[in-house]
Chains A and B, each alone.
Chain A
Amino acid sequence: MPVLKQAELVIAGRSDLFLLEHRIFNLSSFIITLFSLQGMIINYAIGLNIVTVWLAFIGFLFSSLVFYISRIKSWFSPAIVFAYTIATILVLGGMHFYNGGSYGPIIYLFIMLLNIYMLITHRAHQIAIYILMSATVLTLLLLEYYMPDMVTHYNSRTERLLDHITSIMYSMFFTTVIIRIFKNTYDKDRALIIQQNNELEEAYVATTQKSEYIESLIMEIHHRVKNNLQVISSLMLLQSQKVEDDSARDALEEGRNRVGAIALVHQMLYMDNELAKVNIQEYLNALSGTIAKSYGYSENNLQAEVLTNDYIMDINIAIPLGLIVNELVYNSFKHAFANIAHPVVRVILDKKNEDTIVLTVSDNGIGINNSDTGMNPASFGMKLVSILVKQLRGVMSIRQKEGTIISVEFKKIIDES
C-alpha cells in the first residue's frame, strides 16, 4: 500500500533523519490530534455533554502543538513525553466522567496509550510512566466508586455503542500501525546485523588464513635458513674428516664455529618469535658458553654480562657482534691459558652513553706479547675482528693488565652515511 507508506513517511518523518522512538512519537501525536478532532465533532454531533467537546478541543490543541514541536521543530526529549503524558491523563481523566465512567471506553484508551509510551520512552522512565498511568486509572475507578454522582451517563444505548465503536476501532488501528512500524524496523535491523555478522565472520576467517599462511611462509624460510647453515657446517665437517693436514683441519673447524655463531642468532630469532631482533643477553651467554664448552672449559671459566637495558638488538648488529665475540673468546681459550690455574674470560656489554655501546672481552691469560699467534694482528682471526669492527663503524682498543682487555665501541644505530 504505497499511499499508506507515503503517509507514514510524511507524518512520522524519514528514518534516516529521526530516531525510531521519535518517529513513533510524531505519529502518535498526529493520530491523537486527529482522534481529538474527530472526538470533538462526533461528541458534538451525538449530543454528549458540552464539556466533552471542550475537553476534546483542548486535547486537539495540545496534541497539534506537540506534533508541531516534535515533527516540525524536531525536538524530542523525555520532558516532552512526560508533559504529553500528564496532558493526556488530565484530558482523558476529565472525559472519563463525562463518557459514562467505567461504562465508557476511556480506560481502553489509557491501556493503548500505555503501550505506546512504553515503546517510545527510555528504559529508565518506563516504570515512572507505568506508575503514573496505572495510578490514574485506579484513582478514576475509586472516585467513580465513592462518588457515583460525578459520572454523566449516556443518554441512550446507541450513544454508548457509537462511542465504543469510534474509540475502540481507533485504538486497534493505532496500535496495529505503531507495532507494525516497530516490527518492520526490528526485522530490518536484525537482517542487517546478521548480514554484517556474516561479513565480519568471513573477513575474520580470511584474515586468519592469510596470517597463518604468512606465518607458515616465515617459518619455512627460517627452517630453510637453519637447514642451509647446517649443510654448510656439515660440508666443512665432511671435508675435515678427509683432510690429513692439521692446520687445514683447524681452519675448517674454525670456519664451522663461525657458521655456528651465525646459526645461533637464527635459532634465537625464531624461538623468540621476533622477526629481526635478538635478545643479546641470551645470545652472548649461549654463544660464549658453546665456545667455552667446545674447549673443555666449564661455565665457571666464563662470565657474560649485559649491563645495558637494551636487551633486544637488531640482527644487523647482533651477527657482527657475535662473530667478534666468537673470535675473541676463541682466541683467549685457545692461546691465553697455557699454565693458568683458574682461567676466566669475561664478556661485558655496557653503554658508554645514550647511543654508544662498549663490548669488552677480557681474560686473565698470559697476554698478547707472550702468546703465540692468536692476538697477532696479522692472524686471520684478528683480521676478521678488525673488518667486523669497521662494519659496526666502531673503534677497537687493546690493553694489557693482568691479562688482555679488548674493547670495541660502537653506535647503537649504525650510521649509514
Chain B
Amino acid sequence: MNRDNSVLIVEDELITANSISGLLEEEGFFVVGVVDDSSEAFLFFDGDKEFPKTVLCDINIKGELNGIELAKQLKSKYGCEIIFLTAYADNKTLYDAFGAEPVMYIVKPFTDKQLLSALHMATYRIMKALDDDNGKIEIILTKREREIIELVMQGFTSRQIAAQLFISPQTVKTHRRSMLQRNNMHSFSQLVYQLHK
C-alpha cells in the first residue's frame, strides 16, 4: 500500500517522541518508527522497504550528524519533507535550518495543533509531488463531513473536534472512516488533496 502519510520521528527525548507517535497515529498518520540517533534514521531508508515520506526531526540528536545535517541528507537523497521540532530558537540555528528547506520549524514546547497542521501541510506537498494525473476525482461529502475536514486541516485533534461540534470522539472517527470508504480513498491526506487540487 502506498503510504503518503508515513512519518519518521527523530527525537532524543523518548517521552516526547512517544507522545507524538501516539497523537499522530490517533489522527490517522502512519508512524514508521521513532529513533534518537542519526545513524538509526538511515536504517529506514535501506533496501526495498517503502521510505518514510515525512521526517519529524529534532535538531539536538544522538549520533554523528545533528538534526539539520540529517534532514538535509534525507531531503536530497530521498526527497523527504522535513519538519523541525526543537527547543532552539536562536537565529543561527534558524538560519542553518533554513538550509534544509523545512515545511515548518516548530519551537518546543509545541501545541498539538501546530504539529498536526505542519504534518497536513507536508503530506499535501508529498501528494502534489507524486501526482502525475491532472484528472479531478469527484468527491462526495456531507455538510458535517466538510466541517470535520476543515477542522482537521486546521490541526485540531478528533477529540477537540468532537468537543466543538458537541458530538463524541467516536462519532468523529466514524465520519472520517466513512468519507474515506465512500470516496475510495486510502488516507485522509489523499482525500484532502483531491478535494483541494
- List A residues at the B interface (Cβ < 8 Å): 219, 222-224, 226-227, 229-231, 233-235, 237-238, 241, 249, 259-260, 263, 267, 270-271, 290, 293-296
Q: Is B181 an interface residue (CB 8 A)?
A: no
In the complex, the answer to whether A237 meets B156 with C-beta atoms within 8 Å is: no
In the bound complex, CA of A224 to CA of B60 (Å): 11
Interface of B is mostly: helix
CB < 8 Å: which of B15, B89, B161 contacts A235? B15
- Would A230 and B164 be within 8 Å (CB), given that A259-B109, A260-B111, A290-B111 are in contact? no
- Would A241 and B90 be within 8 Å (CB), given that A226-B107, A259-B109, A295-B164 are in contact? no
Number of interface residues of B (CB under 8 A): 28
In the complex, the answer to whether B19 meets A241 with C-beta atoms within 8 Å is: yes
Q: Is B16 an interface residue (CB 8 A)?
A: yes
Q: Is B22 an interface residue (CB 8 A)?
A: yes
In the bound complex, CA of A227 to CA of B13 (Å): 8
- Would A271 and B15 be within 8 Å (CB), given that A263-B109, A293-B113 are in contact? no
In the complex, the answer to whether A237 meets B23 with C-beta atoms within 8 Å is: yes
In the bound complex, CA of A224 to CA of B109 (Å): 11
CB < 8 Å: which of B20, B60, B109 contacts A229? B109
In the complex, the answer to whether B111 meets A294 with C-beta atoms within 8 Å is: yes
Q: Is B178 an interface residue (CB 8 A)?
A: no
- Would A230 and B108 be within 8 Å (CB), given that A238-B15, A296-B156 are in contact? yes
In the bound complex, CA of A226 to CA of B86 (Å): 9
Interface of A is mostly: helix
In the complex, the answer to whether A267 meets B15 with C-beta atoms within 8 Å is: no
In the bound complex, CA of A230 to CA of B159 (Å): 21
In the complex, the answer to whether B164 meets A296 with C-beta atoms within 8 Å is: yes
In the bound complex, CA of A198 to CA of B159 (Å): 66
In the complex, the answer to whether A234 meets B90 with C-beta atoms within 8 Å is: no
Q: Mark B16-51, 1 if CB is under 8 A from A, else 0.
A: 101110110010000000000000000000000000
Min CB–CB distance A204 → chain B (angstroms) = 21
CB < 8 Å: which of B87, B113, B159, B160 contacts A223? B87
Q: Which residue on chain B has the smallest CB distance to residue A338? A: B166
In the bound complex, CA of A296 to CA of B139 (Å): 25
In the complex, the answer to whether A226 meets B87 with C-beta atoms within 8 Å is: yes
Chain B residues, CB < 8 A from A295:
160, 163-164
Q: Is B88 an interface residue (CB 8 A)?
A: yes
Min CB–CB distance A255 → chain B (angstroms) = 13
CB < 8 Å: which of B15, B18, B108 contacts A226? B108
- Would A230 and B160 be within 8 Å (CB), given that A241-B26, A260-B111 are in contact? no
In the complex, the answer to whether B89 meets A231 with C-beta atoms within 8 Å is: no
Q: Which residue on chain A has the smallest CB distance to residue B58? A: A227
In the complex, the answer to whether B151 meets A296 with C-beta atoms within 8 Å is: yes
The 10 A-B residue pairs whose C-beta atoms are closest, nearest first, are A296-B164, A234-B19, A226-B87, A263-B109, A237-B19, A230-B108, A230-B109, A234-B16, A238-B19, A241-B22
Chain B residues, CB < 8 A from A293:
113
Min CB–CB distance A334 → chain B (angstroms) = 9
Q: Pull 30 A–B residue pairs with CB atoms less than 8 Å apart, ordered by A.
A: A222-B87, A223-B88, A226-B87, A227-B13, A227-B108, A230-B13, A230-B108, A230-B110, A231-B13, A231-B15, A231-B16, A233-B109, A234-B13, A234-B16, A234-B19, A235-B15, A237-B22, A237-B23, A237-B112, A238-B18, A238-B19, A249-B159, A259-B109, A267-B89, A270-B89, A271-B89, A290-B111, A294-B160, A295-B164, A296-B151
Chain B residues, CB < 8 A from A237:
19, 22-23, 112
Contacts A230-B87, A238-B15 supplied; 19 other A-B pairs, CB < 8 Å:
A219-B90, A223-B87, A226-B87, A230-B110, A231-B15, A233-B109, A234-B13, A237-B23, A237-B112, A259-B109, A260-B109, A267-B109, A270-B89, A271-B89, A294-B160, A295-B164, A296-B151, A296-B156, A296-B163
In the bound complex, CA of A267 to CA of B90 (Å): 11
In the complex, the answer to whether B113 meets A234 with C-beta atoms within 8 Å is: no
In the bound complex, CA of A354 to CA of B188 (Å): 56
Chain A residues, CB < 8 A from B89:
267, 270-271
In the complex, the answer to whether A294 meets B113 with C-beta atoms within 8 Å is: yes
Q: Which residue on chain B has the smallest CB distance to residue A259? A: B109
Chain B residues, CB < 8 A from A249:
159
In the bound complex, CA of A227 to CA of B88 (Å): 9
In the complex, the answer to whether B107 meets A267 with C-beta atoms within 8 Å is: yes
* CB-CB contacts below 8 Å: B70-115 with A: 87-90, 107-113
Min CB–CB distance B22 → chain A (angstroms) = 4
Min CB–CB distance A341 → chain B (angstroms) = 16
In the bound complex, CA of A237 to CA of B19 (Å): 6
Min CB–CB distance B4 → chain A (angstroms) = 24
In the bound complex, CA of A260 to CA of B112 (Å): 11
Min CB–CB distance B30 → chain A (angstroms) = 17
In the bound complex, CA of A29 to CA of B19 (Å): 93
Query: Could you say which of B19, B107, B163 has the most chain A C-beta atoms within 10 Å of its C-beta?
Result: B19
Min CB–CB distance B155 → chain A (angstroms) = 9
